[in-house]
Amino acid sequence: MTRRIVAQGTFDIIHPGHVHYLSEAASMGDELHVIVARRENVTHKEPPVLPDRQRRDVIDALEVVTEAHLGHSEDIFVPIERIDPDVIVLGHDQHHDADAIRDALAGRGIDCEVARASGREPRYEGELLSTGRIVDRIIESRASEADDVDAV
């Protein structure tokens, strides 16, 4: 019997934290299905820069991923019902309440576990494991470069 795992996220700029999360999720079963959030559904942080399909295509290209799916625009449980997972793996720092998800799944008659992945600590000084921090670093770097050009 195939053990199907679901992971989900925004995945705007892929970084080592994402790779850790998806690799750990994949190790829990035989198939890893990843649901990529649609831009309009990302309300807990800045919306993604990259288009929905581009983010899905990048995740789909990862070797540990069996298939990447775009989330539903109105009901986050629609792709979960279609995929019929054995386990939903939440990222270690995702804002989701695991107990609330379990309750919602039970209310829909979806029988699956909910687990949370471990975090990944930086392996060297300056390693960035957050999309927000990567974006901040790009902005700082570009602002610094612009200041250098203006000084000339």
pTM, to two decimals: 0.89
Distance, in Å, from the CA atom of 90 to the CA atom of 116, rounded to the nearest integer, reads 5
- 9 labelled binding-site residue: no
Please compute the mean of the pLDDT values over residues 93-106 and round it to a whole number: 92
The C-alpha atoms of residue 115 and residue 134 are separated, in whole angstroms, by: 27
> Which contacts of 50-54 are long-range, i.e. CB under 8 A and separated by 24 or more positions?
50/12, 50/13
How would you class 145 by CB atoms within 10 Å of its CB: exposed for 0-12, middle for 13-18, buried for 19 or more? exposed
Q: Is residue 143 part of a domain?
A: no
Gap between the Cα atoms of 28 and 25, Å rounded? 5
Check whether 33 is labelled as a binding-site residue: no
51 is known to lie in a ligand binding site: no
Is 17 assigned to a binding site? yes
Is 128 within the bounds of a domain?
no
Token pair belonging to 18: 């994402």
- What is the domain count for the chain? 1
Is 135 inside any structural domain? no
Q: How far apart are CA 86 and CA 63, in angstroms?
A: 20
CATH number of residue 43's parent domain: 3.40.50.620
Residue-wise pLDDT tens digits, 49-65: 999 999 999 999 999 99
Q: What are 4-41's pLDDT values in tens digits?
A: 999 999 999 999 999 999 999 999 999 999 999 999 99
Name the residue range of residue 9's domain. 4-122
Annotated binding-site residue? 71? no
> Is 116 a domain residue?
yes
Sequence-distant (6+) residues with CB within 8 A of 136 are none
Known binding residue 11? Answer is yes
| 30 in a known ligand binding site | no
Q: Is 151 a member of any domain?
A: no
